[in-house]
Every structure is written in C-alpha cells, then in structure tokens.
Amino acid sequence: MRFPARKHRFLRLLPAALFCLFILFLGGCAGTAPSAEELRNVSIAVDYSKPFNWIVLPDADTPPREVDVFYVYPTIVAHKDHPYMDWSNPSVQEKAKNIAAQQTGVFSEVGMIYAPYYRQGEYFRVIAEAAEKPEKQVYTKTGIEDIRRAFRYYMEHYNKGRPFILFGHSQGAMVLLELMKSEFKDPKLRSKLVAAYLIGYPKMPKTFPDHPHLRLARGANDTGVIINYNSESPDAVKSIFTGPDSYCINPLNWRTDDVKADAAMNKGAVFFDGKNRIISEDKNFCSAVVNPETGALIVVPAKKGTYDSELMGKGIYHMNDIYFFYRNLADNAKERVGAFWK
C-alpha cells in the first residue's frame, strides 16, 4: 500500500519527532533555559534540578571551602512593561552573572557559592512596595517562592550537612528574610547557619516578636545572626531604606550604637568595571557611624566622587553597600566561620 507523498514524509519523520519529544521530557532540548513565556507564567514552578536555573554552582574545579554560601542577587531589572525578571534573555543573564561574581567575591575564600536565578520583582514596582511596607509582598511574592524552592533543593541535594552563610543584597535580602521567617523555625536548620548577611534590607526591624527564632548581630563574631546596614551620606535625601526603629550594624567596628569608626578601620573598598575586573581598591576609603534615630549607616568617603545614583536619590549609597566595605566583610566572614567551629 502506498501513502500519499505528504503522509509518507510524515511517517518517516515521526521517529525523529518522538525522539525530540522524549529529550524535551527528560529535561529540555539541548539543556536550554526556560522560555520567556514559561518564566512569565508565575503559576509554573522553576525546576532547580536544572543547572541552567542557577547562576553559580560549584564544579569539579571549585576549590573546597569550609562552608557554603547561598546567595540571592539584588534588583537588576527595571522595565515597566515586565513585572518579573526573565533570564531567558541573554543580556539579563549577563547582568545577573556580573553582579553575582562581584558580590560573592566577598565570600570566595570561605565558601562555595550556590546562586539560583529567581523571578525577582521589577525595580519600580518593588521600590514602590518597599516605600510603603517591605513585607507587603505583591511583586516579591513570586521571587520568594522561587528562592524557597531553590533553597529546599539546595538543602536536599547539594548541602550534605555543611554549615552555610546566607547572603543577599537589596531585594535579595528581602527574599532571604522571608525564607528565614518560614524555614528557619527548624532548630536543626538554624544550627547550620553561620550568619545571614542581609545587607540593604529596607527598614530592618530591631525585633521580631512574631518570629522569635530570628536574631540580629550585636558584634563581630556572633553566629546564627542577621547582619544589615544601609549606607548614605550625612546630607542624603529621605530614604526608603531607613527610618525610626530600624536596625543597623556598622561593618567597620561591628557596633550598633553611635560610636564612629574612622576611615583607618576600612580595610579596603573594591570597585569593578563592567567585566568584573577590579578597577580600584582603596584602603581607608571611608568612615562610618550608625545613626540610632534612623538606622542609617552614615558614610563619609575620604575621596570625593559620585557614589550615589539618580535612581536612588542624592546621598543614597545603596548601590555601593557591599563595595565600600568589601575587605571588612570578607574578613568578618572568616571571623564568624572561625567562631562557628569553636
């Protein structure tokens, strides 16, 4: 029996088509990232068993370290037409990889980095939300669920009982605090936490009456604690990041009161170019003191320069929270890891 030519071609192609469907079922044809349509459909869960949904995972060439670092990057997308981050876009991927490489360099000597992609909220929406109430969680809700799923996958498949550091900046800090509120009620999980560097969280409360398992850092070597500060100049405009009864710890002297740390205590600010190359490293870069009334970290750079941004407003150093205190944070991580093992 002969088939019409069109039908005959279909039958010849059918085995190849079925094979491709089988490969897609196993994990994505050729290991490609999720499509933009998949990522924008927030009802579809991100599959963190797929390496392409992680910015950074250790591999065979990664030097062994004492602890792990679970990292969540800050807000990197600002597009009013798209409420959530879409890492199917190569330029967005590149931006996330760059910021992750720069920020996690702080912990590269103590920890192996695990950094998932997540559907973070777009900048303008999240800023409006944070200005009203950081825990409102309209545009951060999807990202919170993504990170919860990524962290659970990390604990089940990658952690292998190792102690770990949580590290997030800005929206990354916001998402990680929500993770800690829910997941870290478990004392066994808390016992593995070296510290949570949740830097740039807006208006971090001084107490957590509804979450008594959360503790704030009070010094340089306490463990299992949350670390937060928000940098600004003495003449900064009113900020969404600081306000009455906000917690802050000084990353130069690790005090929460108004004792000033002179620039001589700054072990090195580090700044990068667009390709993650260090363009300058400045020891004694700035002084810092906590303003107890607003919870702001008041920073005075020794060198004149433009360290704020138009997006944030005059004197708001949010974009440089990590870079101003890069070497102090790196040394503090070593100190807290050492204290953890004692």
The average pLDDT across 122-151 equals 76
Q: For residue 196, give Cα distances in angstroms to 38, 72, 164, 299.
A: 31, 11, 9, 22
> Tens digits of per-residue pLDDT, 281-314?
999 999 999 999 999 999 999 988 999 988 889 9
Is residue 236's pLDDT more than 90?
yes
Low-confidence winner among 6-20, 67-81, 230-244, 287-301 (lowest mean pLDDT)? 6-20
Q: Who wins on pLDDT, 196 or 14?
A: 196
SS3 call for 241: coil
Note whether 320 and 281 are within 8 A (CB): no
Per-residue model confidence (pLDDT) at position 81: 67
Q: For residue 225, give Cα distances in angstroms to 20, 165, 190, 336.
A: 49, 10, 9, 10
> Tens digits of per-residue pLDDT, 79-114?
666 666 777 788 888 999 999 999 999 999 999 999
Taking the C-alpha atoms of residue 4 and residue 86, their distance in angstroms, rounded to an integer, is 45
Per-residue model confidence (pLDDT) at position 310: 82
Reported as a pLDDT band with limits 50, 70 and 90, residue 131 is: low
Instruction: Give the tokens for residue 154.
Output: 């990390």
Per-residue model confidence (pLDDT) at position 77: 73
Is residue 1's pLDDT more than 50?
no
Reported as a pLDDT band with limits 50, 70 and 90, residue 8 is: very low
Pick the CATH number of 38-235+317-341 from 1.10.10, 3.10.50, 3.40.50, 3.20.20: 3.40.50
Question: What is the domain partition of the chain in residue ranges?
Answer: 38-235+317-341
Q: Who wins on pLDDT, 255 or 66?
A: 255
Is residue 22's pLDDT more than 50?
no
Give the mean pLDDT of the chain. Answer: 86
Paired sense of beta strands 193-199 and 231-232, if any: unpaired
Is residue 20's pLDDT more than 50?
no
Cβ within 8 Å of residue 61, ≥6 positions away? none
Is residue 132's pLDDT more than 70?
no
Reported as a pLDDT band with limits 50, 70 and 90, residue 139 is: low
The average pLDDT across 3-11 equals 35
Note whether 307 and 317 are within 8 A (CB): yes
Per-residue model confidence (pLDDT) at position 233: 97
Per-residue model confidence (pLDDT) at position 31: 54
